[in-house]
Amino acid sequence: MTLDTVMQTLKPVDDGLRERAARVIPGGMYGHLNVTLLPASYPQFYRSGNGARLTDVDGNQYIDFMCGFGPMISGYKNPVVEAAAAAQLAEGDALGGPTPRMVELAELLVDTVGPADWAMFGKNGTDATSLAVTIARAATGKRKLLKGRSAYHGANAWFNPNPLGSTPEDRANIIFFDFNDIASLEAAAAEAGDDLAGIIVSPFKHDGPVDDQRLAEVDFARAVRALADRNDAVLIMDEVRTGFRLVTGSAWEPLGVAPDLIAYSKAIANGWALSAVVGIDALAQAASDIYATGSFWYSGVAMAAGIANIGLLRETDTPAHMDHVGTLLRTGLQAQAEENGFEVVQSGPAAMPYLRFVDDPGHAAALAFTGAAAARGVLLHPVHNWFLSTAHTEQDIADALDRTAEAFAEARSVLG
């Protein structure tokens, strides 16, 4: 009996919840948090989180390198963020209108993000990217949108990678280009002609699960900016996944490129449901003219959490910390993989690492390794990038590497 199998017998509460969920939730679970296709050692349901660690409903503890798929940047149950949220909750959350926190948060984002002159808010990443596209089309009076091939920008009818439930008309105005390929970008713009409303792009390519992550080349980033300018189109930066992990501001600022609109979510409120679009003055009128709203878009608690969280991230060089601990993790995993005869590729920034096994049809090695790691209390993902946070310490990395050494060894024994 493998340790993975033993772990299954230690999850009776999780198993019971899965059975109950299957009766009342379509498919038992849905979306990117569905663990059905992952090894059985992964829990579906959790009880609590603290710092860089999670506890599932059966009391099993994990060093977490997924951070809720990105939202937890300052650590689970961060005391500063939670105190700010609790103070606002004591006064009220969804009221007859927004609280003063909305203005304060907008001011903070404008002060923090170089290209930003204003901010609007929603609840999740799809809200933000949809809002940005709508503003771009309203401002330009044009329809076509360029996006990276296979890039993910939300779960609406325009961008959802699963077309089931949408129509060809929903995607008729989307034209694809290849990331870091200027010729492909220019060809897509030529196809759009005089009807190009905008270009939506992520700071780096993080599509997965087959392709490696790729940082943006300087020439490509600047070509995107120049193409938007030549065509009177809007450059939209999707920082839903990357926001504040790479740069405390706009991710392409170090490349000398400022977008017109930036979509944020995930990490800006450290796990509280919040998203934002920030933009330049030239687009403020269009942003005001469109109709965009939601009953919970103006709630004060998440905005109070966002103010506290961004304040924490501005106090120190948090991207440098995440890069440091991420590099320690990456270096340790590389050595362990080689010791066990695995060829792996690690790509992307260390704060958002991705590990791929070479010659791994069906992701058998990735599943074996991450399953064995989960059985030992380390949460990684076989086909999605991971996330580091400011709560991850050198000791967390050392503890995790002690366990992943065993996970690599088990994966080698299972695969032969």
**For residue 184, is it within any domain?**
yes
Tens-place pLDDT, residues 186-224: 999 999 999 999 999 999 999 866 679 999 999 999 999
**Is residue 58 domain-shared with residue 156, that is, in the same domain?**
no
Per-residue model confidence as pLDDT tens digits over 339-391: 999 999 999 999 999 999 999 999 999 999 999 999 999 999 999 999 999 99
Domain membership of residue 200 (yes or no) is yes
Are both 229 and 262 inside the same structural domain? yes
* CA of residue 77 relative to chain centroid, distance: 19
Which CATH number do you get for residue 56?
Answer: 3.90.1150.10
Predicted pLDDT at 5: 43
Q: How many CB atoms lie within 10 A of CB 202?
A: 22
Q: Are residues 328 and 374 in the same domain?
A: yes
Cβ atoms of residues 166 and 194 within 8 Å = no
3-state class (DSSP) for residue 188: helix
From 315, 333, 366, the end of a domain falls on 315
Q: Which two tokens stand for residue 369?
A: 């390794």
345 inside domain: yes
Tokens linked to 289: 């003219």
Tokens representing 43 are 């829990």
Residue 188 lies in a domain: yes
Sign of dihedral through CA atoms 255, 261, 265, 270? positive
Average pLDDT score, the chain? 95
The answer to whether residue 334 is domain-embedded is yes
Q: Do 273 and 326 belong to one domain?
A: no
Measured CA distances, 317 to 65, 120, 218 (Å):
20, 26, 23
Same domain, 239 and 254: yes
Number of structural domains the chain divides into: 2
Q: What is the pLDDT of residue 98?
A: 98
pLDDT in tens, 23-50: 999 999 999 999 999 999 999 999 999 9
Q: Residue 145: which CATH number?
A: 3.40.640.10
**pTM score over 0.75:** yes
Range of the domain at 151: 79-315
Q: 185 and 284 share a domain?
A: yes
Asked whether residue 72 is domain-assigned, the answer is: no
For residue 230, is pLDDT > 80?
A: yes
